[in-house]
Structure 1
Amino acid sequence: MGAPEPVEGFRHSSSSDSSSGRRSQRATRRLPRRAAIGRRSFTSTLRSLETLADAGAQVSVHVVDLDSHVHVLSGDDHVTMPIAGLGVVPLLVEVAAAFEAGTLDPLEIVERTATEQVLTSGVWRHLHAPALPLEDLAVLAAAAGDPIAANALLQKVGHDRVRERIESLGLRRTALLDRFRDQRGPDDAPHVAVGSSRELAGLFSALVNSQVVDAAVSAQVSEWLSLNQDLSLVAASTGLDPFAHDHDAHGLLFINKTGRDRGVRAEAGVLAGPRAGVAYSLIVCFDDLSIAHRLRAHDAFRVLGVELMEYTH
């Protein structure tokens, strides 16, 4: 079967520099100009995302075929939006590059008390170990989205180096703005990170193609991300074991990172099966007014997951 025609959808009234992530007004939308025929057309995904847009959510999606480099699905993929913990990926790239260059010791011990604490989430705060090596903190940040571990890594390498790394990767709409916090005050950045779905899908594509810094750095970051245990959004449709999915018995290659905040859900990753491989990113910002609003956003991620599985198998 040949490559499908690209599918494009929904354009909102929000501008490309929007980072508020919460739109209560009804959004205007544009139906896809071209849609592939058959089960590889992502029509269910578009329908689900357009329903979210009609309800006032801000949505951005991008899917690119790893082999043909065809952008098989796109919708407002240039728009900069909040991405929460997904912003850890550029930080992990910088950490891996520093390990590779020898400017950072992977076994350097970091005291938990040396970093400002985050009490609303994470694993390290529940552990008895008062200190861990930097490499273990990278695993915690990638696998469990641990905010204290991420903050400790950011404190070690510094915002400036992460910003320079992001620029060197050619990412113009992606930024790690701040550390993780329990609460954000008027003097703090409004979000921990922002990005566009096109850039994030492209970053994951570059990772699996060994194009992020070099092959060693790409492999290290991909290995960390392969340990991610949050398979509740797009990955819910893969049937993978959240705790052991880096060597799937059916040959499914999958790496991902998610981001969650009040009214923000984001995910980017790579899914490859026997027929094809894709890099994808989906960001949804919505009014988190009830559990129904939240579940409707989550459902859209799972619909995308189903159609990604159909595309790759």
Structure 2
Amino acid sequence: MGSSSAPVPEPVEGSSTTVRRSSRGGGGRRVPRRAAAGRRSFTSTLRALEELADAGAQVSVHVADLDSATPVLRGDDHVTMPIAGLGIVPLLIEVAAGIEAGTIDALEIIDRADLELVSSSGLWRHLRAPALPIVDLAVLAATVGDPNAVNALLQRVGHERIRARIASLGMPRTALLDRFRDQRGPDDAPQVAVGTTQELALLFSSLVNSAVIDATVSAQVAEWLNLNYDLSLVAASTGLDPFAHDQDAHGLLFINKTGRDRGVRVEAGVLGGPRAGVVYALIVCFDDLSISHRLRAHDAFRTLGVELMEYTH
């Protein structure tokens, strides 16, 4: 899977902009610096992220040209932050690798009764089928982030293999810490997963360039992620059909995965258009005190989506 190439704008001398981060959660780290000018810059995204930081949110972003790997927007992209359901991508990679290697049977049946069910969200809990094959659970995990499907795969694969896979992918700041739960107690990991936008963006770039394990595994995971239904954040600006966007009539290359938790929104993906391809990751951690707080965070993702479309078209 590739993208049409286009000239990458050179950074304009003296135009890199650094905005201060609020003191919440760790002091004066920097948030995004602009590395391009004019129509293909990210001025509006920069402004939106500045406003979030000034309001006390923690922000991390990494955007790079897909063909050259040149960063065009970055800020605190090395900082480890919660990534919620986005952390299941290494799990999907391990499942695909196991299927290809023959250590996992794609049609192996897993019974829902063997799980400690998450009752607060998910699709499988509403289905009549009490058991599903591993490959269908992978589709549920990728498309709707189904927590019980994820927990079933994680139980089958095991944390040790996921940790080893993440290490082999060269992602030292990323971890899938725990399964999904209705409630997190004092003895549970505080987050499902953590990671950095730099590592997440690199992972998605590797997927579309067939560099995650091998071409077969990369293609399988990209195919699962291409079915993702959550196009409400960055992807809202693509105009794609959430339920049928794997064969876009306008030739748009797009895969993504989102993560959501209380006060956490995250998305990573690849967008390819006629002028360029781009890989991106954005994490926003905010005080979810009201609908307006939440919508302000969502608006920043959509602003990034608009400027990614401008960059690629």
Sort the TM-score into its range (normalised by shorter chain). over 0.9
What does the per-residue CA deviation read over 1:195-253, in whole Å, with 9 as the maximum and x for residues that have no partner? 00000000000000000010000000000000000000000000000000000000001
Q: Which SS does the other structure have where 2:271 is aligned?
A: strand
What is the TM-score of this pair, normalised by structure 2? 0.94
- Aligned-residue identity in percent: 77
Within a 5 Å distance, the mapping from 1:108-119 to structure 2 comes to 108-119=108-119
2:140 equivalent in structure 1: 140
Mapped partners of 1:55, 1:303: distance in 2: 17
Give the 4+ runs in structure 1 shifted more than 6 A.
none
| 1:115 Cα deviation from its structure 2 partner | 1.2
Structure 2 counterpart of 1:53, which letter? A
| 1:24 Cα deviation from its structure 2 partner | 7.3
2:89 equivalent in structure 1: 89
Stretches of structure 2 that go unaligned for 5 or more consecutive residues are 1-5
| 1:2 Cα deviation from its structure 2 partner | 3.5
Mapped partners of 1:157, 1:105: distance in 2: 12
Structure 1 counterpart of 2:221, which letter? V
Structure 2 counterpart of 1:60, which letter? S
| 1:28 Cα deviation from its structure 2 partner | 4.4
Within a 5 Å distance, the mapping from 1:1-313 to structure 2 comes to 2-5=7-10, 9-10=18-19, 12=21, 23=24, 28=28, 30=30, 35-313=35-313
What does the per-residue CA deviation read over 1:166-200, in whole Å, with 9 as the maximum and x for residues that have no partner? 00000011000000001100000000000000000
Structure 2 counterpart of 1:64, which letter? A
Mapped partners of 2:253, 2:103: distance in 1: 31
Stretches of structure 1 that go unaligned for 5 or more consecutive residues are 15-22
Mapped partners of 1:261, 1:32: distance in 2: 23
Change (3 A) 1:281 1:259: same
| 1:33 Cα deviation from its structure 2 partner | 5.9
Mapped partners of 2:10, 2:162: distance in 1: 36
| 1:12 Cα deviation from its structure 2 partner | 3.6
Q: Which SS does the other structure have where 1:270 is aligned?
A: strand
Mapped partners of 2:31, 2:215: distance in 1: 40
Change (3 A) 1:158 1:9: farther
| 1:32 Cα deviation from its structure 2 partner | 6.2
CA contact (8 A) 2:84 2:261 kept: yes
CA contact (8 A) 1:29 1:50 kept: no
RMSD between aligned residues: 1.7
Q: Which SS does the other structure have where 1:268 is aligned?
A: strand
What is the TM-score of this pair, normalised by structure 1? 0.94
Q: Which SS does the other structure have where 1:241 is aligned?
A: coil
CA contact (8 A) 2:265 2:284 kept: yes
Change (3 A) 1:173 1:13: farther
What does the per-residue CA deviation read over 1:120-154, in whole Å, with 9 as the maximum and x for residues that have no partner? 11000000000000000000000010000000000
Mapped partners of 1:124, 1:33: distance in 2: 42
